[in-house]
Chain A
Amino acid sequence: MTWLASAGADPYGVAVAGNSSIKNLTDMKALGRPVKMTSTGPGSTSYVVTHIVMDVLDIPMSSISGYRGSSEYVIGAMRGDGDGTIAVVPQLLKFHESGDLKTIALLAVTAAKSPFPGVPDATVLGKPDLAKLAIRRLIGAPPNLPDDVRRILEDSLMKAMTDPETVKILQAAGSDLVPEPGNKAAAYLNESIELYTRYQKYIQE
Chain B
Amino acid sequence: MFDIVLPALHSFASFENVGFLVLGTVIGLVFGTIPGLGGATTLALVMPMTYGMEQTPAMILAGGLMGSVAMGGSITAVLINTPGSGPSAATCLDGYPLTQQGKAGMAIGALASSTAMGSVIGVFSVLLVLPVARQLVMMFGPPEFFLLALLGLTAISISSGGKLLCGLVVGAGGLVLSFIGEDAVSGGQRYTFGSDYLWDGLPLVPTLLGLFAISEMIDLSLKGGAVAKKTETTEFAGLWEGIRASFKHWPVVLRGSIIGTLEGSIPGVGGTAASFLAYSLTVQADKHPETFGKGRIEGVIAPEAAINAKEAACLIPTLTFGIPAGLEMAVFLGMLILHGIEPGPMLLIHHSETIYALVLALCFSCLIGAVLGCVCIKPLSLITKIDVHVLVPLILAISAAGTFSIRGEPLDILLAGVFGVVGYLLRRFEYPRLPLVLALVLGPVAERSYHQSMMISDGSWSVFVQHNTSLVLISLIVLAVVLPVWRSQSRRRKAAAEFA
Contact = CB atoms under 8 A, between A and B. Distances in A.
Interface of A: 36, 40-43, 47, 62-69, 71-72, 75-76, 78-82, 91, 94-95, 97-98, 100, 169, 172-174, 205
Contacts of B134: 100
11 contacts: A41-B185, A41-B186, A66-B448, A69-B323, A71-B267, A79-B137, A79-B141, A80-B141, A82-B456, A94-B346, A205-B187
A81 B456 contact: yes
A78 B138 contact: yes
Contacts of A172: 340
B338 A71 contact: no
B455 A65 contact: yes
A185 B183 CA distance: 34
Contact of A94 (B182, B324, B337, B342): B342
Contacts of B346: 94, 97-98
A97 B448 CA distance: 31
Contact of A71 (B185, B323, B455): B323
Contacts of A80: 141
A54 to B, nearest CB: 16
Contact-size category for B: 20 to 34
A43 B187 contact: yes
Interface string B77-112: 000000000000000000000000000000000000
A81 B142 contact: yes
B478 interface: no
B225 interface: no
A41 B187 CA distance: 6
Nearest to A44: B187
Contact of A64 (B186, B322, B342, B456): B456
B452 interface: yes
A20 to B, nearest CB: 14
Given A76-B141, A81-B141, A81-B452, A66 B184 contact: yes
Interface of B: 134, 137-138, 141-142, 182-187, 267-268, 321-324, 337-338, 340, 342, 344-346, 448-449, 451-452, 455-456
Contacts of A66: 184-185, 448-449, 451-452, 455
B50 to A, nearest CB: 14
Given A65-B184, A72-B323, A78-B138, A36 B345 contact: no
A98 B133 CA distance: 14
A75 B323 contact: yes
A62 B268 CA distance: 22
B127 to A, nearest CB: 21
A71 B340 contact: no
A173 B337 contact: yes
Given A66-B449, A76-B141, 5 more contacts: A41-B187, A71-B321, A75-B137, A78-B138, A94-B342
A64 B137 CA distance: 18
A11 to B, nearest CB: 19
Contact of A36 (B141, B344, B455): B455
Contact of B268 (A40, A47, A68): A68
Nearest to B341: A173
Given A66-B184, A71-B322, A95 B338 contact: no
Contacts of B141: 76, 79-81
Contacts of A76: 141-142
A63 B138 CA distance: 20
B338 A173 contact: yes
A41 B185 CA distance: 5
Contacts of A91: 322
Contacts of B337: 173-174
A141 to B, nearest CB: 22
Q: Which of A43, A62, A65, A75 has the most CB of B within 10 A?
A: A75
A74 to B, nearest CB: 8
B321 A75 contact: yes
A204 B160 CA distance: 44
Contacts of B183: 41
A95 B138 CA distance: 14
B267 A72 contact: yes
Nearest to B452: A66
Contacts of B456: 36, 64, 81-82
B246 to A, nearest CB: 34
Contacts of A169: 340
A66 B145 CA distance: 13
Contact of A95 (B340, B345, B448, B449): B345
A147 to B, nearest CB: 34
B187 A42 contact: yes
Contacts of B342: 94, 173-174
A41 B452 CA distance: 11
Contact of B340 (A75, A94, A173): A173
A73 to B, nearest CB: 10
A71 B338 CA distance: 19
B351 to A, nearest CB: 12
Contacts of A75: 137, 267, 321, 323
A72 B445 CA distance: 14
Contacts of B344: 94-95, 98
Contacts of A95: 344-345
A143 to B, nearest CB: 23
Of all A-B residue pairs in the complex, the 8 with the closest CB atoms, nearest first, are A42-B187, A172-B340, A98-B345, A94-B344, A71-B323, A66-B185, A66-B184, A174-B342
Given A78-B138, A98-B344, A174-B342, A72 B268 contact: yes
A117 to B, nearest CB: 18
A174 B336 CA distance: 12
Nearest to A205: B187
A162 B324 CA distance: 31
Contacts of B185: 41, 65-66
A167 to B, nearest CB: 13
A95 B455 CA distance: 25
Contacts of A98: 344-346
B453 to A, nearest CB: 9
B452 A68 contact: no
A151 B267 CA distance: 45
